[in-house]
Structure 1
């Protein structure tokens, strides 16, 4: 199991300290705020945002800690944490807008009431984006697929590198970044290639056209080396393919299966395979 580095929540600490100091300032500098009512509005607005932000951060930490503890003995795909983080970002943005209203002397309740019709019009205009955002939240909280999975959605296939409120960002086999709308997940056929094979990895390399080999020859020459690798699944099929044929080069892809989905292990396998390819070239020379 890989160890994740613990980072000091500097942002949270700064927000908490600012919130405490600002809350203390109200009784201690009451006379000053009375003389400067505009600064009092700004202080109230900032205090509203910081109060909500600190509570949201604490709630997020507790929920994630409870979730991780509850699933400590099980393999989880990490979407729940992603969904909580995105939801916390939305709540922070909402309270930031409310804080600005308070700082400007606008009553948020009256503003929302007066903007109801406008809000309905905005909801109609931005319906696609809103439904995409809702679909994105559903995807984030689901366990069907997560970042790092290899999937096929409709005509698009590749590795998920990010999930946003608008799109699922997929890196396809041509190394192109494809933005797939979240709504497509619920209207198109989705195949998760990593659901059963999470230990699959693909090693890519290229050879000069003058030194190219057919896939059968390359597979036969690499097979003795691959069989000695303890990180690979014993007896698993090794698939060698030509990915691209250029003017003076040939790009190859080798699909392998590690004994687990550890990134460190897969990087070690990739390095060993590439070293074996270099040895083949030196031997051929």
Structure 2
């Protein structure tokens, strides 16, 4: 549901609760209804104020950075914090609606709260780590990162983990704590025109690599989206029992990831045709 519609519904509900309390004096004598109204407004009024603050802060932030290439997740962080505070307000409102004093309830559960904090220590540290990540400009949704053994594009950041989509299109949940305990590489922070195309050929086909170079290099040197000031390089990465792994090092005309992928797909199709022809002729 649209946030504006939700905001309007909250305002209408708060006004309705106040109107019932003022227009119907008998409400004060109805304990259940009175507690329900108090509980409702305990959530609605602070939530409305919080929504106004959220909208104002985001509007000022967007206006200030309208002409800047801003990285980071400030808006995402504000939305996450707002959702968390609303959840806390809802719990307090339910307590008030049931006639429970929230302060006395929390005080009476101090020891239990400490035990819960110990039990959920990992989740709490993940939550705090998530807040640090969201309010920083080191990582952003859409960045390609490598953290520990995981590599992929950030699809979302929440209080528990970073949601990555790896090169096999699998969704990987990386705990936020790993960002602070493992070495992390942001592959999108400083975009480069240099990129690599990796491929593997059977040993029988790899022996005819000179022919491959003769067929592929002219395509690379005449490609409109490849920087011709740098000579394409074909590098042997690994020689196995029945295969050879290669990679091309190329410089594109821009640092666009999409352009890099398009060039890579085009070159890999040519390599597949080369491999097919050699296997067919053998």
Common fold by TM > 0.5: yes
1:248-279 per-position Cα deviation (integer Å, ceiling 9, x unaligned):
xxx999887766666xxx54664576467667
Query: Residue 38 in 1 paired to residue 32 in 2?
Result: yes
**Aligned-CA RMSD value:** 4.2
Alignment coverage as a number of residue pairs: 269
After the TM superposition, which residues 224-263 of structure 1 pair with which residues of structure 2 at under 5 Å, given as runs?
235=229
- Name 1:84's counterpart in structure 2: 78
- Name 2:93's counterpart in structure 1: 99
- Name 1:148's counterpart in structure 2: 142
Gaps of 5+ in 2: 237-244, 278-282
Checking the alignment, whether the CA contact within 8 Å between 1:231 and 1:269 is kept in structure 2 is no
- Pick from 109, 126, 142: which aligns with 1:132? 126
Greater Cα radius of gyration, structure 1 or 2: 2
- Name 2:60's counterpart in structure 1: 66
- Name 1:248's counterpart in structure 2: none
Gaps of 5+ in 1: 1-9, 243-250
After the TM superposition, which residues 1-285 of structure 1 pair with which residues of structure 2 at under 5 Å, given as runs?
11-26=2-17, 28-30=19-21, 31=24, 33-34=27-28, 36-197=30-191, 221=215, 235=229, 266-267=257-258, 270=261, 274=265
Change (3 A) 1:202 1:40: farther
- The 2-side partners of 1:96 and 1:276 are apart by 56
Change (3 A) 1:136 1:28: closer
- The 1-side partners of 2:253 and 2:52 are apart by 38
- The 1-side partners of 2:156 and 2:167 are apart by 16
Checking the alignment, whether the CA contact within 8 Å between 1:205 and 1:274 is kept in structure 2 is no
Checking the alignment, whether the CA contact within 8 Å between 1:19 and 1:47 is kept in structure 2 is no
